[in-house]
Chains A and B, each alone.
Chain A
Amino acid sequence: MKIKEVPQDGKILEKSGEVRDVCYAVDENGDYKQVISVGWEPKNEAINYAWSIIEEEAEAIKKDVEAGKLSPLAFHIHKNVMTPEILASYTGFSKREIRRWCKPRHFSNLDRERLEKIASVLKIGVDQLVRVN
């Protein structure tokens, strides 16, 4: 990669803070130099694609929640790119418990204390945790 070829497609990095890519590229003498880049379109697309799929799947889960097949917890886990395993290790509950609470029947039996613990890990309020919008 030559210095003038270093991409500067700042769709994601430019708008938020000071995170940057440091690229290595060769100058006209063939010597390597560091160049700061604000991003590259193919990478931005890969990231956006991954998020769009997550959104799409979360929407599908939302429908299941509204149909009474899944609990709001399942929606929030997916929206936070988590898995029951990850949420289990953050909250200290077991994987089995988290999986069970993904079903509406068991979710409605959760007490306030447990709801608060889960909500704090997901960085939302309890009132948001029990809803999907």
Chain B
Amino acid sequence: MQLDFNHKPSGHCENGVVSNLLGFYGVNISEAMVFGLGSGLFFAHMPFIKLHGMAVTSFRPLPGAIFSRVMSLLGIKMKRYKFRDREKAMAALDKVLLRGVPVGMLVGVYNLPYFPKEYRFHFNAHNICVIGKEGDVYTVSDPVVVDKCTLTSEELKLVRFAKGTYPPSGRMYHITDVSNKKDIDNESIRRSILLNCNRMIRIPVPMFGVKGIRFLAGRMRRWERRMGSKRAALNLAQVIRMNEEIGTGGAGFRFIYAAFLQEAAGVMNLPELRKFSEEMTAAGDMWRDFSYNAARMFKKRDGDTVTYDILADKLLRIADKEESIFRGLEKLMKNVR
């Protein structure tokens, strides 16, 4: 059984799955719009959560947040599941799938067979969409893959119950009812931008939003002294991988958000937003510049002058830039009505 599902690759896995799922129900919303409506831009540096023994740096809210948010803004009903038992998780998937409903789910990438070996770390927040089943083989729409691909039920079971940091526990989600669908209006865009502003500049904890970027900068300055140059470089590699990794990218997120602001400028007929889009593009370029310079740390030659202090200073400038963008956006959005 194969659903008539239009697979489009995307910059970020969750946006892509949500955008493709909506497309299946005839609701055509771009990936960038999904990302913006879901208030998907974020930053968090959390030393108390470890991945491979190192602090987790994340550029997105918890998996599933974008989906829930977009669905509630659009007035679409959906259902989310989480399982303890593997067999029950697979049976529930089959049941929903056989009704002709595509199912989004959270998986770990470590055992995903079509992923390049180099990318297979114990990273458990990847989203895919199951859109068909023939015998024992599931058809999968994975936003980071150009075409549809397949997984056997054993493989799917394994990745749905991957272990490690933030285990997916068979989480899955699908749309149940689109009959009360609302169109995207100015108000929902306005609210989602304001929510994103809140997340980036108003969380009163130093680990999140622009404060989190400054927090990471401060810790980065001490890495080399605290854990030696090798471990420090490994921590830096982890930040870059999180920053640039397929489907999670940090700099990439800035560009997607910029694309969203551009689209929003058209929908709301608010040319000022296009200005902010350009600013956000500049912030994304600064992140890329950070990654580029950070990568020099891994094959440091004599005479190369890059240090953790220089990188930390770059982060501080990014934090200032993003803070000014979101303060400006907040002001604009509060005055729009």
Contact = CB atoms under 8 A, between A and B. Distances in A.
Contact of A19 (B52, B114, B259, B291): B114
A41 B184 CA distance: 38
Contacts of A83: 52-53, 164
Contacts of B90: none
Given A21-B246, A45-B295, A30 B278 contact: yes
B117 interface: yes
A109 interface: no
Contacts of A90: 163
Interface stretch (A48-56, A65-73, A110-118): A48-56
Given A1-B284, A86-B122, A22 B114 contact: no
B285 A1 contact: yes
B311 interface: no
Contact of B121 (A1, A24, A26, A81): A81
B118 A12 contact: yes
B298 A46 contact: yes
Given A20-B145, A86-B122, A46 B241 contact: yes
Given A1-B285, A20-B9, A43 B255 contact: no
A28 interface: no
Contact of B245 (A1, A43, A81): A43
Interface size class of A (residues with CB under 8 A): 35 or more
B118 A51 contact: yes
Contacts of B245: 43
A85 B116 CA distance: 24
B216 to A, nearest CB: 16
Interface in B273-291: 274, 277-278, 281, 284-285, 288, 291
B53 to A, nearest CB: 7
A36 interface: yes
B244 A42 contact: yes
Interface in B109-139: 110, 114-119, 121-122
A51 B120 CA distance: 10
A96 B159 CA distance: 25
A16 interface: yes
A17 B163 CA distance: 25
Contacts of A12: 116, 118-119
Given A42-B295, A46-B241, A89 B163 contact: yes
A48 B167 CA distance: 25
B271 to A, nearest CB: 12
B256 interface: yes
19 contacts: A16-B116, A17-B145, A18-B149, A19-B246, A20-B145, A21-B144, A22-B9, A23-B252, A24-B259, A25-B255, A30-B274, A32-B277, A42-B240, A46-B237, A46-B244, A46-B295, A50-B238, A81-B52, A86-B122
Contacts of B146: 18, 20, 36
Contacts of A32: 32, 255, 258-259, 262-263, 277
B20 interface: no
A19 B145 contact: yes
Given A30-B278, A43-B241, A89-B167, A22 B291 contact: no
A34 interface: yes
A18 to B, nearest CB: 4
Given A1-B285, A16-B116, A40-B244, 13 more contacts: A17-B116, A21-B144, A21-B252, A23-B11, A24-B255, A30-B278, A40-B291, A43-B244, A46-B237, A46-B241, A46-B291, A50-B241, A83-B53
Interface string A72-103: 00000000011101100110000000000000
